Amino acid sequence: MKSLSALDRFLPLWIGLAMACGLLLGSFVPDLEASLDSLRIGTISLPIALGLFLMMYPVLAKVRYEELGSLRGERRLMAASLVLNWIVGPLLMFALAWIFLADQPEFRTGLIIVGLARCIAMVLVWSDLACADREATALLVAINSLFQIVAYSLLGWFYLSVLPGWLALDTQGFEISIWEVARTTLIFLGIPLVAGYVTRLVGLRRRGRAWYEERFLPRIGPLALYGLLFTIALLFAIQGEAITDAPWDVVRIAAPLLAYFLLMFGVSFWTGWTMNLGYERTATLAFTAASNNFELAIAVAVGVFGATSGEALAGVVGPLIEVPVLVALVYVALWLRRRLYRRTQGLREG
């Protein structure tokens, strides 16, 4: 933890402060929502879009796209990761959302959107803290980044419109178009993904890996967290009245999120252990599967349903729960290493 910057180390505190600032801003500037509506292109609010881009771009500029070819020797790890991330994770969040929020279609939808967004950002931090395999984590992040472009909109349509019908669940008239999710995903993930890839390609070719990773990335890295805090403040300013009138709603959203992170970590760590992947790769598998890309989830919720929607509120609560829980799971992973892998040779010292 000492190796983290103050911004990273106290992220739950900063998120809480951003939420408080947003609530105060919404109270003292009653015309804020109308002002934001005036800065809109179609259904996209430009200030919120700026915050979302700042969240996504630095993370995607860190992905080592040039190393995707080395995944050939990681077939077992990649197969396990794909199953956990794109089958088990979405199914688990779908089940928890319906169990905890069957009577709240907006919050339920927001949680499912969170469950579909696989982690490509903070997992690099959790992986380092837990002494996991850094290179394997980077490769899985690259795979998830590219896979989301293709899979996210299809899975969103399936879990929000198709599967509830198959199970005869009462969606209370809710329907979503696959094109709405696809358009939002392409805008809020596709644009920063292209920008991040081009930045990395040009930076490595002109200045080399050492300059790019040791000097350039540390400079732009904080932009992701600044963008997150800016977006959260704006969303809570817009949502302020709904939150203060019904604080119990935030608690109800938090409960299934907490269950999700704990269950996904446990299932994924057990999977890596039974596959004899070794601690480093087992930890990599567990953290990449248990984490979520809350930046994309917020972007999709806002882009499809609007900044004042219950779906957007559920997306914003996501990082508030995920960050402290994943920090706690770092210590759980290190404890499991001592208990389960004490006799394994070659483990790094914690």
- Per the prediction, the chain carries an average pLDDT of 81
Q: What is the pLDDT of residue 93?
A: 95
Asked if residue 345 belongs to a domain, the reply is no
Asked if residue 191 belongs to a domain, the reply is yes
Asked if residue 302 belongs to a domain, the reply is yes
Q: What is the pLDDT of residue 342?
A: 67
Q: Which two tokens stand for residue 48?
A: 């919120």
Asked if residue 137 belongs to a domain, the reply is yes
CB atoms near residue 248 (< 10 Å): 8
Asked if residue 31 belongs to a domain, the reply is yes
Write the CB contacts of 171 (distance below 8 Å, at least 6 apart in sequence): 105, 161, 164, 165
Asked if residue 169 belongs to a domain, the reply is yes
Burial class (CB in 10 A: 0-12, 13-18, 19+), 179: exposed
CA 60 to chain centre: 13
Is the predicted pLDDT of residue 145 greater than 80, yes or no?
no
The larger pLDDT score, comparing residue 119 to residue 92, is at 92
Read off the pLDDT of each residue in 172-199 and give the average, rounded to a whole number.
Answer: 74
Percentage of the chain beyond pLDDT 70 is 83
Structural domain boundaries enclosing 45? 11-338
Read off the pLDDT of each residue in 261-273 and give the average, rounded to a whole number.
Answer: 95
Q: Could you report the per-residue pLDDT of 279-312, keeping only the tens digit for each?
A: 999 999 999 999 887 777 877 887 778 777 888 8
Write the CB contacts of 319 (distance below 8 Å, at least 6 apart in sequence): 15, 228, 232, 294
Cβ-contact 288, 144 below 8 angstroms: yes
Which of 23-37, 85-99, 176-190 comes out lowest in average pLDDT?
176-190
pTM over 0.85: no
Whichever domain contains 231, its CATH number is 1.20.1530.20
Q: What are phi and psi of 317, to 5 degrees?
A: -65, -25
Asked if residue 150 belongs to a domain, the reply is yes
Considering its fold, how many domains does the chain have in total?
A: 1
Q: pLDDT band for position 57 (50/70/90)? A: confident
Q: E strand or H helix at 311, and its extent?
A: helix 310-340
Q: What is the pLDDT of residue 347?
A: 42
Q: What is the pLDDT of residue 345?
A: 46
Read off the pLDDT of each residue in 233-260 and give the average, rounded to a whole number.
Answer: 82
Asked if residue 276 belongs to a domain, the reply is yes
The larger pLDDT score, comparing residue 125 to residue 322, is at 322
Q: Which two tokens stand for residue 77?
A: 């790890």
